[in-house]
Amino acid sequence: MSISFHDPRGASRVTAVPYTCKTALTGTPTIGLLANNFPDSEAFLDAVQRALSGALPAARFARYLKPSASVPATAQLVEQIAAECDALVTAYGH
């Protein structure tokens, strides 16, 4: 008897492009943490904040929460984050 597994993922139609965006975090950077409102997205960002705090002890953190996981962040929220933060980490949860 043999067992075989089927991978249900199809081939991607989109070519993978390496992500090269970066920012220099000097002085006292403010890092935004945006939860998407899925269960545990905020808990995940708690862990991200603890890890980043160890690597960047001078950093400050600003927390943001989308009103719903199914809609994009509003233009107003994006503008607020851009005005207040030097970098942003977004999170999905489940």
Taking the model in full, what pTM does it have? 0.74
Note whether 44 and 74 are within 8 A (CB): no
Q: Return the bridge partners of 34, or none.
A: 64, 90
Nearest residue to 46 (alpha-carbon basis) of 61, 58, 56: 61
Per-residue pLDDT of the chain (94 residues; tens, 9 = 90+): 788 888 787 888 888 888 777 778 888 999 999 999 888 889 999 999 999 999 899 999 999 999 888 888 899 999 999 999 999 999 875 5
